């Protein structure tokens, strides 16, 4: 050893000097040749001891020197690119880790685009292509427990994982394909598999080695967010390799175990995503959750409770993984308990968003599908308690989606947890989500791939065969004809025949009076139904008759030439009094007014005594027609009944619906209140010409005679502008409703448990506000509504909050901008931070969207006001 040790330095020193200073191609060549002897695989190699020494001490110096000398002129010292090949061979054939480090170093150290940078980048690409990364990593794995330099390993780790970033920073536009992350990380994955293969081989040969460097590389790549690229290559390969090989499995488990804690989450989520099923996950992970606290936390808490972005198959493989081993099953039960606890907690229901609730529900059902009866029996009490609490709070919710979720999960879960008990049955319409949940509840199939387990499409029922006897009389019936008959059956798709009902023989009443009589006193149900069906049409056809039915022929009939006229003045007075409006003072002496109220009363108290198809709709439409006919008194009656004692919630909500629909009808532009709708008016007759003053007719006639028209056909008229009828009645609709909401009755507590009605009320108020656009009372309404919203703004129910937010939007839309600024500045100022807060933090997505919309309207308002004030 001694002579060798002394022999190396002078030779190398000599060669290095030549390399660094000489401009003579021949000398450089011979110096490189002498150095090359120390590389493995050379033609006349130096003794192994010297090689090792060279690799450890001097190789990087040589490489640095080579990089330094790199320039176009230097490479051309020898013809035919000999020098370049020789130069590159040092990097590609020498010890890989040092070559890699030096290459990276020189690339990072380059000041800007240069010949040297291009050359080294190309060399690095060749280096990657030649699979030298595997050599780099393998080298680190072999040096197990030896005097490995932690700084060196760290540097290698950083450079290996950060290569795309470094190269991208340095090369900018000139970056090579191989260095793009979407190309590099799959390559890295391939290299890891190769290294693992080599490690497995050497383990078989009895050599020890460690995978911790690979784990670090893998973990770091995942932390960098490259799970998809690297695991997309790695997982399928490992899935195949671990299928029937215990050694591979153990290597794989070790690989995952050695991943540092801070990378564990990134790796595990990536793995769960990439693995195609619980079996695969189990093969890859082993009992990792039992060994690593961090892994357990990620798998049983973080993915399930803190995040909800993962797909159902992922949940299935994760929970299936927990269920696959007897050691892990206690964890699964624990998870189920915690999941159900979360599912049942009323605060979680209130504060978690709907997608998250779906996610937890899915997880619960998957857990239940995996657990056996015996396991469930042990903790049945706890589970049932949490479940029932959750069902109760969900059924109380005013959001249909939440209610339906509660019903679906309750049905399925109770059947699993307590199979011998009476089955829970709810009435709900199946939708896509509930079907998905029901499918999850089925026990997992034994098949390897879950995708194959999709339920087979039910075979199309065979058509009923033709009666044999029918064809007897037709000896000539060709077989082709029958065939075409069979083929064509599919194309005869039936139309909707739901409208096909029995024709009622009873004569429909022809007068409103008869209808009222039939509805109140008739025991003849056919007549009762016919009256109900006819009522809307009758009222619409002759509004006057509906108003004056019982006073027909009476002198009072003549009084109401101008309905609503005297009330307008009165209303103005009330608005002056502001929101402290008290409507009880007004008593109409007019008997015909009371008739329409009478009609409304009859309709409101109408019970569905026989099963009439569409009863609700018929009653509602009739009521709307009554309100539209005589808005003020009927609306006043209905709103007073809304807060009356003896009504069901259903009736109260009906009142709200009727008021909304009637307001919509009244505010519809182009409504011709007096002209009956009987077909389209003929083009010749002009509806307004009779009322128009004579001079206008003369002028129009003159214009027409002097005008030449080039188009054919009669001139079209747009709809006549007319004042909104809702203007006169809006106050009657709105203020009585908003007055009493905070006064609980025995049977009706809006601020308490009847929050569903409160939600409907808020929505109705918002709609009324919106429909009151361009009316004189809009400002007063807006002020009252904003105050109302302000008191309820932190309501716990999402449905109510949605209503409040839409009400704010409708205030912003309906009240003129300058009036908003003049009359409601404080309210707007207060509303703004609240809206911003909701837009950011509300758990309900619709609430957030509505708040953003309201904020946008506020911004727009500001935009319209600022240009006005600036000039």
Partner 1 sequence: MSGMAEKDASRWVYQQPWPARKMTAPPPTMAASPLPPPDPQFVLRGTQSAVHALHFFGGARGQERPLLLSGSLSGLVHIWSLQTRRAVATLDGHGGQCVTWLQTLPQGHQLLSQGRDLKLRLWDLAEGRNAVVDSVPLESLGFCRSSVLARGQERWMLAVPGRGSEEVQILEMPSKTSVCTLKPEADAKPGMPMCLELWQADSSPRPLLLAGYEDGSVALWDVSERKVCSRVACHTEPVMGFDFDSQKARGVSGSAEKALAVWSLDEQQALQVCGTHELTNPGIADVKIRPDRKILATAGWDHRVRVFHWRTMKPLAVLSFHSATVHCVAFATDGLLAAGSGDQRISIWSLYPICRDASTPLLGHAEGGEVGAHALA
* CA 234/CA 366 separation, integer angstroms: 27
Of residues 500 and 585, the one with the C-beta less far from partner 1? 500
Least Å from the CB of residue 216 to partner 1: 54
582 torsion bin: left (phi>0), alpha (psi -120 to 50), beta (else)? beta
Q: Does 481 bind partner 1 (CB under 8 A)?
A: yes
User: Considering the rule CB under 8 A, would residue 703 count as an interface residue with partner 1?
Assistant: no
Segment contacting partner 1 by CB under 8 A, of 418-426, 427-435, 457-465, 555-563: 457-465
- DSSP string across 670-716: T--SSS---SPPPTTS-TTTTTS-HHHHHHHHHHHHH----S-SPPP
For residue 205, state whether it binds partner 1 (rule: CB under 8 A): no
Q: How many residues bind partner 1 (CB under 8 A)?
A: 36
- Tell me the C-alpha distance between 441 and 743, whole Å: 46
CB of 815 to partner 1, least distance (A): 41
Binding piece for partner 1, criterion CB under 8 A, among 61-69, 307-315, 495-503, 832-840: 495-503
What gap in Å lies between CA 27 and CA 34, rounded to an integer? 11
Q: Judged by CB under 8 A, does residue 177 bind partner 1?
A: no
Is 561 among the residues that bind partner 1 (CB under 8 A)? Answer: no
Least distance (Å) between residue 535 CB and partner 1: 19
Distance CA 614, CA 620 (A): 10
Q: Are 822 and 861 in contact (CB under 8 A)?
A: no
Q: Of 491, 585, 607, 826, which one interacts with partner 1 (CB under 8 A)?
A: 491
Choosing from 73, 495, 670, 675, the residue that interacts with partner 1 (CB under 8 A) is: 495
Min dist CB 464 to partner 1, Å, is: 6
Q: Measured from the CB of residue 469, what is the shortest distance to partner 1 in angstroms?
A: 6
CB nearer to partner 1: give 204 or 467.
467
490 in contact with partner 1 (CB under 8 A): yes
End-to-end CA separation in angstroms for the chain = 95
Give whichever of 150 and 494 is closer to partner 1, judged by the CB atom.
494
The nearer residue to partner 1, 173 or 472, going by C-beta atoms, is 472
Work out whether 432 is an interface residue with partner 1 (CB under 8 A): no
> Which of helix, strand or coil describes residue 815?
coil
When asked if residue 489 is in the footprint of partner 1 (CB under 8 A), the reply is yes
Cβ(133)–Cβ(191) below 8 Å: yes
Instruction: Tell me the three state secondary structure of residue 365.
Output: helix
Q: Which is nearer to partner 1, 491 or 585 (CB)?
A: 491
- Binding to partner 1 by residue 488, rule CB under 8 A? yes
Written as six digits, the tokens of 310 are 């993962």
DSSP 419: T
Nearer residue to partner 1 within complex by CB, 488 or 707: 488
Residues 277 and 448 sit within 8 Å (Cβ to Cβ): yes
Q: Which is nearer to partner 1, 611 or 707 (CB)?
A: 611
Cβ at position 454, least distance to partner 1 in Å? 17
Q: Based on the shown chain and the rule CB under 8 A, indicate whether residue 467 belongs to the binding site for partner 1.
A: yes
Query: Would you say 44 or 488 has its CB closer to partner 1?
Result: 488
Among 4, 395, 477, 582, binds partner 1 (CB under 8 A): 477
Applying CB under 8 A, among 423, 455, 473, 871 the residue interacting with partner 1 is: 473
- Per rule CB under 8 A, is residue 466 in the interface with partner 1? yes
Rounded to whole angstroms, how far apart are CA atoms 79 and 85?
A: 11
Of the two residues 125 and 438, which places its CB atom closer to partner 1 in the complex? 438
Task: Please pick, from the candidates 499, 719, 752, 871, the single residue that binds partner 1 as defined by CB under 8 A.
Answer: 499
431 near partner 1, rule: CB under 8 A: no
Distances (CA, A) of 136 to 177, 235, 425, 532: 21, 22, 64, 88
What angle do the packed helices 181-204 and 227-241 form, to 10 degrees? 30
Rounded Cα distance between 537 and 672, Å, is 16
Residue 684 interacting with partner 1 (CB under 8 A): no
Residues 414, 847: Cα–Cα separation, whole Å: 32
Q: With contact defined as beta carbons under 8 Å apart, do 397 and 382 qualify?
A: no
- Residue 147 or 473 having the CB closest to partner 1: 473
- Which one of residues 145, 246, 446, 497 is an interface residue with partner 1 (CB under 8 A)? 497
CA 203 to mean position of chain CA atoms: 49
Q: Which is nearer to partner 1, 293 or 507 (CB)?
A: 507
Q: Are 189 and 230 in contact (CB under 8 A)?
A: yes
From the CB of 438, what's the least distance to partner 1, in Å? Answer: 17
Among 23, 80, 432, 502, binds partner 1 (CB under 8 A): 502
d(CA 776, CA 731): 10
Distances (CA, A) of 799 to 117, 171, 739, 788, 845: 63, 55, 21, 16, 11
741-756 core/surface letters (b: 16 or more CB in 10 A; e: else): beeeeeebebeeebbb
Of 2-10, 41-49, 50-58, 476-484: span binding partner 1 (CB under 8 A): 476-484
User: What's 852's DSSP letter?
Assistant: H
Minimum distance from CB of 456 to partner 1 (Å)? 14
Contact call for residue 429 and partner 1 (CB under 8 A): no
Where are the strands (E) in 17-81, listed by range?
none
Using the minimum distance from each CB to partner 1, give the nearer residue, 311 or 484. Answer: 484
The CB-side HSE value for 593 (13 A sphere, CA atoms) comes to: 17
Start-end of H helices in 242-328: 246-257, 261-274, 278-285, 288-291, 293-297, 312-323
- Choose which of 496, 585, 607, 826 interacts with partner 1 (CB under 8 A): 496
Residue 464 interacts with partner 1 (CB under 8 A): yes or no: yes
Q: Least CB distance from residue 458 to partner 1, whole Å?
A: 8
What is the helix (H) or strand (E) element at residue 643, kind and residue range? none
The pair of structure tokens assigned to 452 is 């194959």
User: Using the rule CB under 8 A, is 480 a contact of partner 1?
Assistant: yes
Residue 494 found at the interface with partner 1 (CB under 8 A): yes
Summarize as ranges the residues that interact with partner 1 (CB under 8 A): 458, 460-461, 463-464, 466-467, 469-477, 480-481, 484-485, 488-503
């Amino acid at each position: 050893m001694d002579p060798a040790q002394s022999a190396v330095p002078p030779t190398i020193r000599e060669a290095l000097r030549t390399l660094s200073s000489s401009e003579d191609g021949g000398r450089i060549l011979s110096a490189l040749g002498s150095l090359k002897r120390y590389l493995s695989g050379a033609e006349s190699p130096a003794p192994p001891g010297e090689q090792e020494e060279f690799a450890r001490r001097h190789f990087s110096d040589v490489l640095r020197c080579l990089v330094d000398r790199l320039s176009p002129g230097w490479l051309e010292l020898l013809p035919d690119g000999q020098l370049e090949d020789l130069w590159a061979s040092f990097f590609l054939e020498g010890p890989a880790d040092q070559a890699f480090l030096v290459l990276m170093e020189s690339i990072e150290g380059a000041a800007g685009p240069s010949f040297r940078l291009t050359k080294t980048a190309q060399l690095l690409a060749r280096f990657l292509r030649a699979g030298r990364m595997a050599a780099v990593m393998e080298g680190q794995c072999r040096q197990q427990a030896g005097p490995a330099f932690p700084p060196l390993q760290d540097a290698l780790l950083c450079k290996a994982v950060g290569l795309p970033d470094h190269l991208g920073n340095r090369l900018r536009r000139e970056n090579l394909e191989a260095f793009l992350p979407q190309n590099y990380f799959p390559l890295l994955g391939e290299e890891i598999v190769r290294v693992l293969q080599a490690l497995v081989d050497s383990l078989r040969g009895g050599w020890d080695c460690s995978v911790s460097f690979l784990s670090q590389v893998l973990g770091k790549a995942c932390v960098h967010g490259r799970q998809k690229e690297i695991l997309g290559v790695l997982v399928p390969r490992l899935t195949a390799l671990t299928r029937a090989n215990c050694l591979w499995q153990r290597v794989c488990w070790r690989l995952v175990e050695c991943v540092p804690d801070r990378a564990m989450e990134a790796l595990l989520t990536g793995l769960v995503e990439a693995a195609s099923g619980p079996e695969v996950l189990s093969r890859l992970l082993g009992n990792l959750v039992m060994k690593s606290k961090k892994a357990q936390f990620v798998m049983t808490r973080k993915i399930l409770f803190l995040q909800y972005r993962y797909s159902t198959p992922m949940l299935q493989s994760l929970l299936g993984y927990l269920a696959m081993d007897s050691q892990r099953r206690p964890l699964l039960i624990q998870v189920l308990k915690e999941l159900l606890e979360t599912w049942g907690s009323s605060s979680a229901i209130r504060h978690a968003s709907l997608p998250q609730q779906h996610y937890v529900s899915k997880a619960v059902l998957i857990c239940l599908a995996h657990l056996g009866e015996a396991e469930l029996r042990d903790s049945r009490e706890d589970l049932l308690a949490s479940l029932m609490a959750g069902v109760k709070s969900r059924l109380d919710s005013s959001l249909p989606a939440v209610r339906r979720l509660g019903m679906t999960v309750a049905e399925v879960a109770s059947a699993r947890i307590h199979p011998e008990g009476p089955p829970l049955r709810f009435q709900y319409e199946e939708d896509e989500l509930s079907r998905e949940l029901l499918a999850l509840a089925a026990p997992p199939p034994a098949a390897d791939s879950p995708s194959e387990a999709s339920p087979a499409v039910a075979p199309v029922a065979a058509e009923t065969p033709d009666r044999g006897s029918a064809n007897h009389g037709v000896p000539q019936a060709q077989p082709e004809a029958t065939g075409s008959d069979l083929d064509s059956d599919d194309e005869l798709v039936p139309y909707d025949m739901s409208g096909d009902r029995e024709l009622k023989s009873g004569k429909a009443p022809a007068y409103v009076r008869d209808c009222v009589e039939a509805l109140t006193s008739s025991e003849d149900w056919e007549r009762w139904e016919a009256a109900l069906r006819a009522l809307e049409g009758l009222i619409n056809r002759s509004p006057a008759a509906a108003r004056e039915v019982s006073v027909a022929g009476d002198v009072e009939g003549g009084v109401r030439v101008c309905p609503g006229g005297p009330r307008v003045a009165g209303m103005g007075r009330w608005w002056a009094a502001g929101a402290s409006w008290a409507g009880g003072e007004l008593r109409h002496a007019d008997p015909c007014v009371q008739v329409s109220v009478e009609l409304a009363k009859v309709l409101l108290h109408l019970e569905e005594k026989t099963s009439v198809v569409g009863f609700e709709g018929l009653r509602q439409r009739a009521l709307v027609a009554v309100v539209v006919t005589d808005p003020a008194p009927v609306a006043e009656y209905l709103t007073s009944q809304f807060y009356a004692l003896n009504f069901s919630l259903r009736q109260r909500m009906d009142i709200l619906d009727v008021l909304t629909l009637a307001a919509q009808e009244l505010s519809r532009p182009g409504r011709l209140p007096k002209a009956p709708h009987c077909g389209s008016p003929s083009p010749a007759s002009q509806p307004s010409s009779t009322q128009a003053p004579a001079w206008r007719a003369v002028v129009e006639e003159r214009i027409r005679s002097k005008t030449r028209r080039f188009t054919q056909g009669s001139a079209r008229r747009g709809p006549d502008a007319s004042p909104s009828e809702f203007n006169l009645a809006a106050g009657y609709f709105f203020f009585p409703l908003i007055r009493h909401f905070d006064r609980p009755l025995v049977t009706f507590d809006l601020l308490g448990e009847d929050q569903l009605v409160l939600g409907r009320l808020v929505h109705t108020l918002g709609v009324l506000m919106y429909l009151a656009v361009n009316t004189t009372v809009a400002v007063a309404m807006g002020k009252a509504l904003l105050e109302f919203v302000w008191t309820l703004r932190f309501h716990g129910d999402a449905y109510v909050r949605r209503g409040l937010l839409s009400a704010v939007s409708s205030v912003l839309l309906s009240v003129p901008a300058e009036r908003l600024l003049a009359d409601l500045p404080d309210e707007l100022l207060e509303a703004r931070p609240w809206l911003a807060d909701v837009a950011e933090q509300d758990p309900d997505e619709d609430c957030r969207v509505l708040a953003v919309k309201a904020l946008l309207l506020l911004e727009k308002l500001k935009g319209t006001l600022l240009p006005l004030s600036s000039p």
